[in-house]
A and B are shown apart, each in its own frame.
Chain A
Amino acid sequence: MSSISIRDVRKSYGNTTQAAVERLSIEIPQSDFLCLLGPSGCGKTTTLRMIAGLEHPTAGRIHLGDRTIVSVDDGVYVPAEKRGMGLVFQNYALWPHMTVEQNIEFGLKLRKVPKAERDAIIGEVLKKLAIDRYRTRLPSQLSGGQQQRVALARMLALKPDIILLDEPLSNLDAKLRLEMRAELKRIHQELGSTIVFVTHDQWEAMTLATTIAVMSEGQLQQLGTPDDIYERPANRFVAEFVGNLPINIIELGSGRSGALVGWMRDRLAARTLPQPAGSVGIRPESVRLTRSIVEGAREARVVEVVPTGGSWIVELSVDGEQFFAIAGELPDATRGDQVFFHVEPQHLHIFDVDGRRIAA
């Protein structure tokens, strides 16, 4: 009933040739927690708004379970108010002239829920989100975090099968973010609703989602579990976008030379690849540092060791070329020291000349 399927959806504005969303197809199974992840302007919010009905696709279809809500070629379009979804806006969009209680009650009234039942539901959601003492306040009298909870409560009161969240955590401070993240996870587990969550924060996506859809320039780059996305990035964009410290990329194209290129060509020589490699990505945390030489290691000089609390970023210089490693323990080397680094073969992300992952 509450699965979502997006098929060949395209969205362009006016006469621009560049589409905001290009031939997007995503199947979101019931009770999934899908994160739309990408840099700003990648089309993730547009996608969410098309599901909600606040934007209309230029082409394609959207189905909810077996109900078609959008089909451009068949002339089907269900307006937002008839889709019965829940949406929490980035800036909460509480109605400024209504109290907390009235904000929550509005949708229930529209659904002609009797007064007694309405009060019960309002009491319940207010309690669940720990905001019952703000019942009669106006949104302007609440802090950002409290407003956020009211927005969530307003949405939850209607018990939607599908919950859409548009960067709901981005306006909160770090501590509140953590709290709300836990709250969202709890809500998902309790209600079993299908959730679509838009964010540009990969950590948020990694910790919350069951499925992540990485988008860039209106196109879906990869759809997969958080581990898939991180361990097996489908292309260079995903590899470079996901990861706290940017991935090390070694360009192997023709005419490329240098210490790292030479080292990597040696490492790949033994392997048979279906296509020639265009580049290789190495996550800093896959890099192993040693003081003595081991099989397949390369010599480097330590430029800087930066503590980040619990781990250390080690900036290396390989004959003048920059290379990053993350050490889980305090490295026994300091600035200027000579070290060796190596990478296990399974941690090499090999891409073809067009940037697509080569399954090794």
Chain B
Amino acid sequence: MRNFGKAIYNYRVHNQDPTTMVGVGLVVLFAYLIAAPILLLLSDAFFVQFADQARSGQSMGELTLYYFNRVFLSAIATDVFWRPLLHTATIAFGAIVVALAVGIPMAWLISRTDMPGKTWFATVLIIPYMLPSWTFALAWQTLFKNRTTGGQPSWMEALGFAPPDWLAYGALPITLILALHYTPFVILLFGNALRQFDSTLEDSARVIGAGNGLIARKIILPLMLPSLVSACTLIFAKCLGDFGVAYILGVPVGYDVLATSLFRAISTSQTGMGAILALTIVVLGTISITLDMYLLKEARRFVVIGSKGSMNRTTSLRGYRLPAAGLATLVFLVSAVIPLLALAMTTVMKVPGVFALDNFTLAYWIGSDLGTTALKQGILLTPEFWQATWNTLWIVGLAALGAGFLGLLVGYAVTRTSSTMIATFLRQVTFLPYLVPGIAFAAAYLSMFAVQRGPVPALYGTPIILVLAILADQMPFASRAGISAMMQLGHDPEEAARIAGAGWFRRLASVVVPIQKGALVTGVLLPFISGIKGLSLVVVLAVPGTDVLTTYALRLVDYGYGQAANAVVLMICIIAFGGTLIVQKLTKSKLSDGLGGK
């Protein structure tokens, strides 16, 4: 009887409010939306698929090393895996080297010198990161492509040059574009580290007689190293999963990277092989992210020592002020102005790169009789464009709304539940998509939702699969935001509401959500922007009926409608850039604040 009473008591105590139930609900939801697809994808790697029964000599569902052999050891392994791996590594390391070479001087100029206009540069040099990376690939194509792929001539061709293949496609442009796109990582991380560097550390070395060179080598460099290595690992991880740039500039000439090889495996229904490739990317990504987390922890150890004497002293550039500003302007021109301008100009030119008055036209925007087979009118008059815009807004919007709210709810459950198991699981499962590149995550969603499972019908071809995939893919950011917001809130406001007599739902509606309004807005807007830019996830999952702007642009590229594609891309850029600015205004934060804590 006594034990019975105690059991009832414990039940009542732990179910005073539905926090634990909400936690369990979220655990189930994310096990289904994140863990299950990834596990399923990974299991595809080791079980025989229906189509491969004959070749593998095993029957469907049997445990097999067939795919493993095929990807790593077979005759096609070089084409499917080893060469793309080599390409990926080349591109990633090349991008890192270039990004460091450009980013370190820029970060130093912005944060520690008297270069004119440095606050302005601090903003504009980050622009490439706000835009989708493959935008720049399209711009490159517009400027440099040659007859190897045909279609409309590039500006270079129009001006009478024939760009060689090594300039037009493959390793060089891909490396340069990824480098320029991720240089902001270096500028932000290294710049922040420089700015937070405690000048007293430098002074104390100088006081005991150390010269500039010695100080740079023994004091500044060791303290800056974590931020640099952190930038490198982040760039590496991003390059691993980057699909769009290589798809536009590599695939047409057979230059494959891991992401495009994976895409090919998936689009040709070689699920098992795709799974192995995805697994490889996930493992490489996990290693680099783990390394980054470890280094961030190390860096934090330094911060503790580094006390509060922050650095506001600047190095005087004297006669080099203007050349320095010139250099920064050059970087800005190359990394943002020229590509965007090229894209924009192309959309109003009949033949790209020909600067004759009669070559200019608004037809690609608002014309009505273009004489092309599939796209007879300007993009703004094309129903497919508006369909894609509408799809983008509602699909990505719904996913972002879901991610924002679920992120806050995850934050609530993680910080409020008495079960550490639920809290730990939620933290980890919502972070998981960060380790999985978009293409692989999309592949996971295909494995999970392409067929009917239990009561859930096959979702491929419906917008639902896009909403779910984008939502799940954005959960790492949304849940991080939610958890940190809830941690800052503390228990007091809610406890005060309990004392006043408010039940759980009332507390959530009248206290928690209103206080977290700002965090919620960010938690919705950031996934929205990132979702609009995203290509690799949707390119696998979208079908013509569910095209969003990014996939629609890519389809136009595939059809060779350069002007129209560029116009669509410009629209995406405007939305992404504007959205980022709005978020920064609303939250009074800088993009840089969100970078370190990932």
Across-interface contacts of A81 in B (CB, < 8 A): 497-503
B residues 119-152 touching A (CB-CB < 8 Å): none
B16 within 8 Å of A (CB atoms): yes
Asked whether, in the complex, the Cβ of A74 is within 8 Å of the Cβ of B5, the reply is yes
A256 contacts the other chain (CB 8 A): no
Any B CB within 8 A of the CB of A283: no
Which residues of B are found within 8 Å of A110, using beta-carbon distances?
500-502, 506
A172 CB to closest chain B CB (Å) equals 17
In the complex, which residues of chain A have a beta carbon less than 8 angstroms from the beta carbon of B506? 110
Give complex CA distance A56, B13 in Å.
Answer: 7
B25 at the interface (CB under 8 A from A): no
Q: Is B2 part of the binding interface, using a Cβ–Cβ cutoff of 8 Å?
A: yes
B510 at the A interface (CB under 8 A): yes
State in angstroms the CA–CA spacing of A38 and B4 once bound together: 36
Residues of A near B13 (CB, < 8 A) are 56, 77
A73 lies within 8 A of B6 (CB): yes
Q: Do B5 and A72 have beta carbons less than 8 Å apart?
A: yes
**Residues of B close to A80: CB separation below 8 A:** 16, 495, 498-499
Q: Which of A90-98, A214-222, A331-339 contacts B (4 or more CB under 8 A)?
A: A90-98
The verdict on B73 contacting chain A, using a C-beta distance below 8 Å, is no
Which A residues lie within 8 Å of B318 (CB)? none
Closest A residue to B503 by CB, please name it: A81
A contact residues, total (Cβ < 8 Å): 32
The answer, yes or no, to whether A21 is at the interface (CB within 8 Å) is: no
B12 interfacial contact with A, CB 8 Å? yes
The residue on B at minimum CB distance from A104 is B500
Q: Could you tell me the distance between the alpha carbons of A71 and B13 in the complex, rounded to whole angstroms?
A: 11
Contact between B500 and A158 (Cβ–Cβ < 8 Å)?
Answer: yes
Cα separation A80 to B511 with both chains bound (whole Å): 16
Is the Cβ of B499 less than 8 Å from the Cβ of A106? no
CA distance A84 to B501 in the complex (A): 7
For window 1-40 of B, CB contacts with A under 8 Å fall at: 2, 4-9, 11-13, 16-17
Q: How far is the CA of A72 from the CA of B9 in the complex (A)?
A: 6
Query: A276 an interface residue at 8 Å Cβ cutoff?
Result: no
Q: Does B493 contact A (CB under 8 A)?
A: yes
Whether B496 sits at the interface, judged by CB under 8 Å, is yes
A43-84 to B contact mask, C-beta < 8 Å, 1/0: 000000000111010000000000000011111110111101
Interface size on B, residues (CB 8 A): 29
Q: Which of B27-85 contact A (CB under 8 A)?
A: none
Q: Which residues of B contact A74 (CB under 8 A)?
A: 5, 9
Asked if A95 and B511 make an inter-chain contact with CB atoms under 8 angstroms apart, the answer reads yes
Is B2 a contact partner of A91 (Cβ separation < 8 A)?
no
User: Nearest Cβ distance between residue A34 and chain B, in whole angstroms?
Assistant: 18
Is A89 engaged at the interface, CB distance under 8 Å to the other chain? yes
Task: Determine whether B303 belongs to the interface, using a CB cutoff of 8 Å to chain A.
Answer: no
User: CA A222 – CA B7 in complex, angstroms?
Assistant: 33
- List which B393-435 residues lie within 8 A (CB) of chain A: none
Cβ–Cβ contact A107 & B498, under 8 A: no
The complex places the Cα of A85 from the Cα of B496 at a distance, in Å, of: 11
Interface residue? B515 (CB, 8 A): yes
A168 at the interface (CB under 8 A from B): no
- Of chain A, the residue at the smallest CB distance from B3 is A73
Q: How far is the CA of A37 from the CA of B497 in the complex (A)?
A: 26
In chain B, residues 492-523, which have Cβ atoms closer than 8 Å to a Cβ of chain A?
Answer: 492-493, 495-503, 506, 510-511, 514-515, 517
**CA gap between A344 and B9 in the complex, in Å:** 54
Q: In the bound complex, do residue A75 and residue B8 qualify as a contact, i.e. CB atoms below 8 Å apart? A: yes
- Minimum CB–CB distance for A111 against chain B, Å: 7
Interface presence of A126 (CB below 8 A): no
- B510 pairs with A106, CB closer than 8 A: yes
Task: List B contacts of A85 (CB < 8 A).
Answer: 499
A95-B6 in contact (CB<8A): no
* Complex Cα spacing A94 to B498, Å: 13
Of B4, B5, B492, which one neighbours A89 at CB under 8 angstroms? B492
| Most B-side CB within 10 Å, residue of A91, A93, A94 | A93
- Residue of B2, B9, B12 with highest tally of chain A CB at under 10 A: B9
Within the assembled complex, what's the spacing in Å between the Cα atoms of A73 and B10?
A: 10
A209 at the B interface (CB under 8 A): no
Contact across chains for A95 and B7 when beta carbons are under 8 A apart: no
* B2 cross-chain contacts in A, Cβ below 8 A: 73
Q: How many A-B residue pairs have CB under 8 A?
A: 87
| Complex interface: chain B residues within 8 A of A107 (CB) | 500-501
Q: How far is the CB of A28 from chain B (nearest CB, A)?
A: 18
Mask for A238-276, Cβ within 8 A of B = 1, else 0? 000000000000000000000000000000000000000
A93-B492, A95-B493, A96-B493 are contacts. A54–B9 as well, Cβ < 8 Å? no
Which of chain A's residues have a CB closer than 8 A to the CB of B514?
97
Q: In whole angstroms, what is the CA distance A52 to B497 when docked? A: 12
Known A75-B4, A93-B492; contact A87-B499, beta-carbon cutoff 8 A:
yes
Within 8 A of A (CB), among B522-543: none
- Give every chain A residue within 8 A of B501 (Cβ-Cβ): 81-82, 84, 107, 110-111, 158
Q: A77: which B residues are within 8 A, CB to CB?
A: 9, 12-13, 16
Q: A residues within 8 A CB of B492?
A: 89, 91, 93
Q: For residue B507, which residue of chain A has the nearest CB?
A: A81
The reply to whether the CB of A226 lies closer than 8 angstroms to some CB of chain B is: no
Which chain B residue lies CB-closest to A111?
Answer: B501
A211 to B497, CA, bound (A): 29
**Chain A residue with Cβ nearest B7:** A75
Cα(A82)–Cα(B500), bound, Å: 9
Q: Is A86 an interface residue when CB atoms closer than 8 A count as contact?
A: yes
Closest chain-A Cβ to B322's Cβ sits at a distance in Å of 45
A97 to B516, CA, bound (A): 9
Contact B6 A79 (CB under 8 A): no
Q: How far is the CA of A106 from the CA of B507 in the complex (A)?
A: 11
Across the two chains, which residue of chain A brings its CB closest to B499?
A87
B9: chain A residues at CB < 8 Å are 71-77
Measured between alpha carbons, how far is A72 from B510 in the docked complex, in Å? 32
Cα(A95)–Cα(B510), bound, Å = 10
Instruction: Please judge, given known A-B contacts A56-B13, A79-B16, whether A95 and B499 are in contact too, CB under 8 Å.
Output: no
Q: Name the B residues within 8 Å of A71 (CB-CB).
A: 5, 9
Q: Mark B239-265, 1 if CB is under 8 A from A, else 0.
A: 000000000000000000000000000
B5→A79 contact, CB < 8 A:
no
Residues on the A chain within 8 Å of B8, using CB: 75
Nearest Cβ in chain A — how far from B20, in angstroms?
A: 14
Contact of B495 among A54, A96, A106, A154 (CB under 8 A): A54
Cα separation A178 to B440 with both chains bound (whole Å): 66
Residue of B with least CB distance to A82: B501
Tell me which residues across on chain A come within 8 A of B6, comparing CB atoms: 72-73, 75
Say yes or no: A106-B498 contact (C-beta < 8 A), given A72-B6, A74-B5, A81-B503: no
Interface centre among B4, B5, B17 (most CB of A within 10 A): B5
Separation of A358 and B299 alpha carbons in the complex (Å): 60
Q: A89-B492, A91-B492 are in contact. Are A75 and B12 (CB under 8 A)?
A: yes
In Å, the complex CA distance between A77 and B503 comes to 15
CB-based contact A93/B496 at 8 Å: yes
**Complex: how many Å from CA A91 to CA B489?**
13
Rounded to whole angstroms, the CA-CA distance of A79 and B497 in the bound complex is 12
A91 to B503, CA, bound (A): 22
> Which B residues lie within 8 Å of A158 (CB)?
500-501
A89 touches B496 (CB 8 A): yes
Instruction: Check if A52 sits within 8 Å of B499, measured CB to CB.
Output: yes
- Selected contact of A96 from candidates B12, B503, B515, CB within 8 Å: B515
Task: Let me know if B498 and A54 touch, CB within 8 A.
Answer: yes
Roughly how many angstroms separate A54 CA and B8 CA in the complex, as a whole number? 18
CA distance A81 to B497 in the complex (A): 8
Which 7 A-B pairs give the minimum distances between C-beta atoms? Answer: A75-B8, A107-B500, A93-B492, A93-B496, A77-B12, A80-B498, A75-B5
Extra inter-chain contacts (15) besides given A81-B498, A89-B496, A93-B496, CB under 8 Å? A53-B498, A56-B13, A71-B5, A72-B5, A73-B2, A74-B9, A75-B8, A75-B11, A79-B17, A79-B498, A89-B495, A93-B492, A97-B517, A106-B502, A107-B500
Q: What are 17 inter-chain pairs, A to B, with CB distance below 8 A?
A: A53-B498, A71-B9, A74-B9, A75-B6, A76-B9, A80-B495, A81-B499, A81-B501, A89-B495, A93-B492, A94-B496, A95-B493, A95-B496, A97-B515, A106-B510, A110-B500, A110-B501
